[in-house]
Structure 1
Amino acid sequence: WVRDHDELKNTLIVFFSDNGGATNNRSWNGPLSGAKGCLKEGGIRVPMIWSWPATIPEGKRYDSPASALDLLPTFMAAAHSNPLPLNAPRSYEDKRNRQRLIAQHGAYEGFNLLPYLKGKKTAPNRTLFWRLQGQVAILDGPDKLIRLSHRPAQYFKPTDDAAESNDLAPERSKRFSSLFQQLGEWESLLPTPPLWGSSPFWRGESAKTYDSSPPTEEPQ
């Protein structure tokens, strides 16, 4: 429709996935480890392609981490609009945690990516966090720590080790401890219990996925 009505150049289109491939349906995440439901790179690193010919330069490459959290702020900026107010928290504890979270990050943790996609600003330094079914992770610059309920935390540098096969925790204990503390401080601000993914069944499924999804050869 937008092409037929000559509106393609004025239309913002984003292609991305909410998670890595689920390996039970012949998806291939190599050379990454992990799959859908896992916080290793195979579960969370996905393509993201933006098209807005009238605004974003053709062929522009954005090499810094981006997140689905960035979609809302970017869309709101593109529409010259503001997000709707947040719903009220369920409990006093969650209300207090939200106030602390907003004080640190603002009401929404994502970035408006348009200035960076246009090349008008350098990419921001950012820290990303995840929590899913008994797993938590932090990506701070090039450093990533994953902590699971069923095994010790691990520390990787995905930019140099996409397969996350070299745990740096033993040799870089000071940085490991710093990431571990950052992750714990972030967790203390979250609703308790999680509103999504708190089922014991899925926690168990995620643990099995984590332990059984090494990098695989590309199918021929």
Structure 2
Amino acid sequence: MIDKQLRVVLAEDSVILREGMVELLIARGCAVVATAGTAPELLAAVAAHRPDVAVVDVRMPPTHTDEGIRAAIEIRATAPGVGILVFSQHVETAWAARLLAGGAAGIGYLLKERVARTSELVDALHRVATGGTALDPEIVNGLMHGGRRSRVDSLTTREREVLELMAQGHSNRSIAGLLVVSERAVEKHVASVFTKFDLPATEADNRRVKAVLAYLAETGA
């Protein structure tokens, strides 16, 4: 049970969806400190409230194209301590790659169908608020198979499965449970991914994030 109440700013231009999400988040113990219907309103709300997480729709007024992503990238630059969870109706791998280009820590990207599952949404919020990563499996799949791959091509099927789950923010223990294998087996696959991606151990070991970023860079998305 997570005791800390998350402070959330929610940006969604659909009033009905926005109000529904506010009710769901409050019911699950989150504090929605502000809502926004446009990117400028979102940026102002984040500056004023400094929430734990900003939940952002990719498509927002006036053009309903990439206003949300651009606002999220600006938040990353101006308020790096704020976690970002963006959501979209469709798999938008190019936009996901733009958001992740500055680092995967504290970033989430979910499809709207996943957002509708409250437990998954709240779990993702807590994950990004603590500097973790929460990527929708379909987004990860699109990033991994969307373009040129060299080191990614060298991975075995199981190693790719492990890497996808790593990108979604799962621990080795969680991956072991999902794949129904031992945690030691997962550790071996992770070590192999690090080796193939030429990621030696360092004093501040953040190779999991670097492994995810490495394959994102090679997709050319």
TM-score (norm 2): 0.22
Greater fraction helix: 2
Structure of higher RCO (CA pairs closer than 8 Å, 6+ residues apart): 1
Structure with max Cα Rg: 1
